[in-house]
Structure 1
C-alpha cells in the first residue's frame, strides 16, 4: 500500500493555463484602446475579444468588462462615447441608494450601485492595493 503524506500541499502550476488566449485578449483590448473608440476597427477588435473569451471559456477582468458596451462593443470613454451620472430614484433620497449610470451613445445603460460602500474596491484590484 502507498502511504499518504498529509503534510504535502499542492503546488500552484508553474504556467498559467490558456496563456496564449489571455495574451490574445490583452492584445485585442490594447489595440482597440489605441484606436479611435468610434472606429469600426476598434469595435471589431472588441467584438473579437468577446468571441474569443466566450469560445475559450475565459473570464474577463471586471475592470475590463466595465469599459465595454455589451450592445455595440464600443470602448466606453467618458465624455466621448459614454456619459456618466449618479442617480438616486429612491423616495427618501438617501445617499445609500446612489447608482452610477453609464450610458453609451448606442443607448445601452449600465448601472452600478455605489451608495452602500463608497470605499468598495473590486476583488481583482485588492491585491494591487496591498502590494503598493
Structure 2
C-alpha cells in the first residue's frame, strides 16, 4: 500500500459495529409498536455490542432506552414523565420495570457531546469516488 491511498480514506475504528448498533437501535424503535419484547431484545443486543467492542453510545440514544429492562422509552406509552419544580428535575419512570431516571431541568445545560470544544474530528462516510464511478456506468 502506498502513502497516497492510505491518506485518502480515514478509517473509523469499529465502523461496522457502529453501523450494526445503529441498525439495531432503529429496528428496536420500530419493533416497539408490534412487540416490546423483541424491541428490548434488539436494544439489549446493541448494548452488548457496545460493551464487547468498547464503543461509547451517544447520551441521546441512552436516554431513549430504559437502563434496566432495555425497552424504548416512549412518553405516554412506555414511560411516564413528571416534572419537579422543587428539585428542577425531569423524571422518567419506565412503565414496565418502574426504573426512575432523573435529568436536570436547566435551559443552559448541554450534554458533553453537544459542546463544540469536545468534538475532535468529524468523519464523513459518504460515497467514495470508486463507488460513484460504478453507479454512473
User: Given the two structures, how large is their TM-score scaled by the length of structure 2?
Assistant: 0.71
Unaligned 5+ segments in structure 2 are 1-6, 117-137
| 1:63 to 2:54 alignment | no
Q: How far is the alpha carbon of 1:64 from its aligned partner?
A: 0.3
Q: How many residues align?
A: 107
> Does structure 1 residue 103 correspond to structure 2 residue 93?
yes
Structure 1 unmatched ranges of 5 or more? 1-10, 128-132
**Displacement over 6 Å in runs of 4+:** none
CA RMSD across the alignment: 1.9
Instruction: Give the corresponding residue for 2:104.
Output: 113
Shift of 1:101: 0.5
Q: Compare 36-45 and 69-78 and name the one that shifted more.
A: 36-45
Match runs of 1:1-132 below 5 Å: 14-36=10-32, 39-88=36-85, 93=86, 97-105=87-95, 106-114=97-105, 117-126=106-115
CA displacement at 1:126 relative to structure 2? 4.3
Alignment partners' CA distance in 1, 2:25 and 2:50:
12
1:82-110 alpha-carbon deviations (Å, 9 max, x no partner): 0111124xxxx4xxx30110000111000
